[in-house]
Amino acid sequence: MASAQRATGPDKRRMILDAAVVVFAKKGFHACRVSDIADEANVAYGLVYHYFRSKDEVLDTLFLERWNVLLEVITEIDRQQLPARDKLYAIASFIVDSYRHDPDLMKVIIVEVTRAANSFGRTHLTTIREAYALIAGIVEKAQADGSFRCAVTPGFAALAFYGAIEQVLTGWIFDMLPRGEEEFDEAKAFIVETICGGLDADRASARAV
Amino acid sequence: MASAQRATGPDKRRMILDAAVVVFAKKGFHACRVSDIADEANVAYGLVYHYFRSKDEVLDTLFLERWNVLLEVITEIDRQQLPARDKLYAIASFIVDSYRHDPDLMKVIIVEVTRAANSFGRTHLTTIREAYALIAGIVEKAQADGSFRCAVTPGFAALAFYGAIEQVLTGWIFDMLPRGEEEFDEAKAFIVETICGGLDADRASARAV
DNA sequence: CCAGTGGTTGACTGACCAGTCAATCCGGAC
DNA sequence: GTCCGGATTGACTGGTCAGTCAACCACTGG
């Protein structure tokens, strides 16, 4: 009846990926079994191996699908004629909205890939670094045109900026921070305000290094 | 001959813990076997279970030992009569030096506990949060006495600050950032400079929320 | 010299699970 | 209607590994 009932070919592949997101988010990649994915997708165990070479490849696919979108979006934001601060806001906004739209997927990507230095993080290191490099590029240009100070290196600023975003998402993932439409928008503003504006009331002590 | 040869009782326990740090750091908690720990410690397999109820308990012990030191240090720093910026510098300094002194241990704690939302992170959530709360307390007092702006909430500032530190450590853990005496000291300064000073050249846009 | 106690050993077991594969289904081509 | 090939099924296998346990060792105190 519904297309889900008669789904075939690539549709089933998609169903497996979506099911994997749910299962990985709930139990974690290592703790869940391939049969959990198959069950969640209402599909036979073996079909997972028809579409993917291994359990790992399912996670790889999820990560790459999403991270490539992120890289494109950052590139596109950077192409626009905007103050660096607004560009950073747009990036924070996109990532926070990604979480708002699909918290499970973002949880899986952050917990199982981005922060997993012993497994998938290492595998996708090059891809992950591309995002940092793009952000660093934005900072570098802003420092060149004088809108950002030169107190820290662009690469370092990118790390701190992305680190702050990820820490906030982690706060939501761990249920440490309240989640809601207001909180999401507030977070975007706070991240940019902290990194760009700083905490100091006066900046007498701030000198270029 | 050497005491390691004739070690007994609690010494062996310590040897197991130290060996676990090496093994967890090299292969990751999930990927390594209990026999790897025993081999690294030059101890029989079963002895691990004489001193610890389970493989999990070994990691729990490592984490709690170190995190409690961190909590004490932060408390002590906060007790001193110092500008908030210097307190944050002291905290960043302690964490960076912890990494400098024992990178494997810090790697294990960050990768396997602090950032592991699906396993040990959840277990130790309360303990982890205590550190954030202490940092937030420092920010809050600084905002009250006017040395920090009130643009963001203390809890959020704590998250961003700790997130920046962890991201830098992660950079070292992933071999993304160069490691060395200079880099370590530079990192401490950069972290505090970014979070306290901010990136903006002028702060026209910075208004209290 | 002989228990007794606590540390130490490592072979073994039971459970678990990724990945395989032979069989079956189904829709289209002719 | 028959045949073909890709999609789909799920029982089964092989290997792994956490945790157990019965035996062994080394010191101590009587």
Q: Mean pLDDT across the stretch B96-102?
A: 98
Nucleic acid strand C within 7 Å of B3 CB: no
Mean pLDDT across chain B: 92
Q: What is the pTM of this model?
A: 0.91
Q: What is the pLDDT of residue B200?
A: 83
* A30–B30 CB contact, under 8 Å: yes
Which residues of chain B are within 8 Å of residue A163 when distances are taken between CB atoms? 163-164, 166-168, 170
Tens digits of residue pLDDT in B121-168: 999 999 999 999 999 999 999 999 999 999 999 999 999 999 999 999
How far is Cα B76 from Cα B82, in angstroms, rounded to an integer?
11
Strand extents, DSSP E, A6-67: none
Which residues of chain B are within 8 Å of residue A147 when distances are taken between CB atoms? 200-201
Tens digits of residue pLDDT in A90-145: 999 999 999 999 999 999 999 999 999 899 999 999 999 999 999 999 999 999 99
A window 178-197, beta carbon within 8 A of B: 187, 189-191, 193-197
Looking at the complex, report in whole angstroms how far the Cα of residue B131 sits from the nearest Cα belonging to chain A: 13
Grade residue A204 by pLDDT with cuts at 50, 70 and 90: low
Neighbours of B33 (CB within 10 A): 12
User: Taking CB atoms and an 8 Å cut-off, how many pairs form between chains A and B?
Assistant: 197
How far is Cα A75 from Cα A78, in angstroms, rounded to an integer?
5
Answer yes or no: is pLDDT of A161 > 80. yes
Q: What is the pLDDT of residue A199?
A: 84
Q: What is the pLDDT of residue A7?
A: 65
Nucleic acid strand D within 7 Å of A12 CB: yes
Q: Which residues of chain A between 23 and 82 are close to nucleic strand C, CB under 7 A?
A: 32-35, 45-46, 49, 54-56
How far is Cα A21 from Cα A37, in angstroms, rounded to an integer?
9
How far is Cα B24 from Cα B4, in angstroms, rounded to an integer?
21
Mean pLDDT across chain A: 92
Nearest to A199 among B116, B117, B148 (CB): B148
Tens digits of residue pLDDT in B5-60: 456 766 999 999 999 999 999 999 999 999 999 999 999 999 999 999 999 999 99
Nucleic acid strand D within 7 Å of A9 CB: yes
Q: Would you say A45 and A6 are in contact if contact means Cβ atoms under 8 Å apart?
A: no
Can you spell out the DSSP letters for A3-37? TTTT--THHHHHHHHHHHHHHHHHH-TTTS-HHHH
Nucleotide of closest approach to B44 (CA, C1'): C9
Q: Mean pLDDT across the stretch B182-191?
A: 96
B130 class by beta-carbon count within 10 Å (0-12 exposed, 13-18 middle, 19+ buried): middle
Query: How much of chain B exceeds pLDDT 90, in percent?
Result: 88
Q: What is the pLDDT of residue A1?
A: 38
